[in-house]
Amino acid sequence: MINDDASRLKIINNLPPQVDLLLQLEALKNVERQNPLSAGSRRERVAEHSWHIALGVILLSEHSPDDLDIARAVLLACVHDVVEAFVGDTFAFGSDVDGQRSREEGAIAHIRATFPQPTAALLADLWEEYEAQATPEARFVKGIDAFLPILLNFLNPEESSWKNHGVDSRKVLKRLQRVEQPLGALAEINKEMVAQAVREGYLT
């Protein structure tokens, strides 16, 4: 094998500037969440989670009580956690959740200010649409973002983040209540899972 560092460097230096942002977002492949996979001992990563949310939007859209632009919703699902490449994941029931909003807004401001336009603005605008929860697509993505973690914790009780962190079922139900309308019947399925987890003792 021939090493030609000069040629490699030339190729790298000629990459489109947007690739720098793309590579920084690759960090999401390594950022761990607290939720388990549905089977097995390891925790899911943020990039996997975002992909799973996007698939959930496609496959579960018929359960939405609202008409959805599926393509728009998938875009929102893909970018809804991009800030975590810069600030890490915040566990929904953790002690640092109070500062989550300010950390994530700082990260999106960094993206807007640092990376090429209009690419950075497009990414930031999608993230802010999700955060504002003003569209049916954003609300449904938020709903699936609640539905799937409950599903994963229910299916893998031994590795459940509920069990590992002593999560109170009232907190889970409070979070679910905020997205109950866009989830439709899926919210009722989640409630049954929560009740069963309490009966089995791995959710308090």
**CATH code for position 47:** 1.10.3210.10
Residue-range definition of the domain harbouring residue 41: 17-200
DSSP label at 38? S
For position 5, what pLDDT does the model report? 83
For position 30, what pLDDT does the model report? 97
Q: What is the pLDDT of residues 140-189, one digit of tens each?
A: 999 999 999 999 999 999 999 999 999 999 999 999 999 999 999 999 99
Identity (one letter) of the amino acid at 121? A
3 in a domain, yes or no? Answer: no
Task: Report residue 198's pLDDT band, with 50, 70 and 90 as the boundaries.
Answer: very high
1 in a domain, yes or no? Answer: no
6 in a domain, yes or no? Answer: no
Query: Residue 12 above 70 pLDDT?
Result: yes
**More reliable by pLDDT, 87 or 6:** 87
116 in a domain, yes or no? Answer: yes
DSSP states of 60-95: HGGG-SS---HHHHHHHHHHTTTTHHHH----TTST
Which segments within the chain are labelled E, that is strand? 32-36, 43-45
9 in a domain, yes or no? Answer: no
User: Does the pTM of the predicted model rise above 0.75?
Assistant: yes
Task: Report residue 1's pLDDT band, with 50, 70 and 90 as the boundaries.
Answer: low
Residue found under tokens 């649409």: 129
Task: Tell me the pairing of strands 32-36 and 43-45.
Answer: antiparallel
Task: Report residue 61's pLDDT band, with 50, 70 and 90 as the boundaries.
Answer: very high
C-alpha–C-alpha distance, residues 185 and 85, integer Å: 33
Mean pLDDT within 101-106 = 95
Please give the share of the chain, as a percent, with pLDDT higher than 90. Answer: 92
For position 95, what pLDDT does the model report? 85
2 in a domain, yes or no? Answer: no
40 in a domain, yes or no? Answer: yes
Query: Residue 120 above 90 pLDDT?
Result: yes
How many structural domains is the chain composed of?
Answer: 1
Q: What is the pLDDT of residues 15-49, one digit of tens each?
A: 999 999 999 999 999 999 999 999 988 999 999 99
C-alpha–C-alpha distance, residues 85 and 32, integer Å: 11
Partner residues linked to 43 by β-bridges = 36
5 in a domain, yes or no? Answer: no
